[in-house]
Amino acid sequence: MRCPYCQSEDTQVKDSRPAEDGAAIRRRRICPVCGGRFTTFERVQLRDLIVTKKSGRKVPFDRDKLARSIEIACRKRNVDPERIERAVSGIVRQLESSGESEIASGEIGRLVMDALKSLDDVAYVRFASVYRNFREAKDFHDVLGELKGEEDGAER
């Protein structure tokens, strides 16, 4: 691991433990060249995932982009950041364990929709408006009907 201060490649791990989310390893490091101390977070990556966009373009999967999109949908909502992180980790786990190295962007969107449905209804509708490319108010009405239909089913 390269030192962020002097760029030396020769850093030493002083402490290693699971991160708070349990999905990463937190390592305290020191650089013997400049004495700088820093922390790294390392995640196990089962395989390199490629996202196939609707246009056919292929890009590497970006976990941070997934997390940002869910955080944006949940912005100004009372959703615990830990629940968001668990949702992101769950989606990544599903993608990695699918056995496929190429994932359609629509499949990722569907998994996000499923996760948001259990996190927050408003975040779900916000994300749906972008994911499904809403064009008119009727589109919002339809999604609200989907949510209401589930609530009615749950009450029975």
Residues 31 and 78 in one domain: no
Average confidence (pLDDT) over 42-58: 83
Query: What percent of the chain shows pLDDT beyond 70?
Result: 91
Domain range spanning residue 67?
50-155
Residues 63 and 95 in one domain: yes
pLDDT at 155: 44
pLDDT bin (cut points 50, 70, 90) of residue 76 is: very high
Total number of domains constituting the chain: 2
pLDDT bin (cut points 50, 70, 90) of residue 44 is: low
Q: Is position 88 within any domain?
A: yes
Q: Is position 5 within any domain?
A: no
Q: Is position 3 within any domain?
A: no
Residues 83 and 36 in one domain: no
Q: Is position 4 within any domain?
A: no
Query: What percent of the chain shows pLDDT beyond 90?
Result: 51
Residues 18 and 81 in one domain: no
pLDDT above 90 for 152: no
Residues of 92-128 as b/e, b for ≥16 C-beta within 10 angstroms? Answer: beebbeeeeeebebeebbebbbebbbebbbbbbbbbb
Q: Is position 127 within any domain?
A: yes
Higher pLDDT: 148 or 64? It is: 64
pLDDT above 60 for 46: no
Residues 37 and 56 in one domain: no
Closest alpha carbon to 119 in 65, 59, 74, 52: 74
pLDDT at 154: 46
Sign of the dihedral defined by the CA atoms of residues 112, 114, 116, 121, in that order: positive
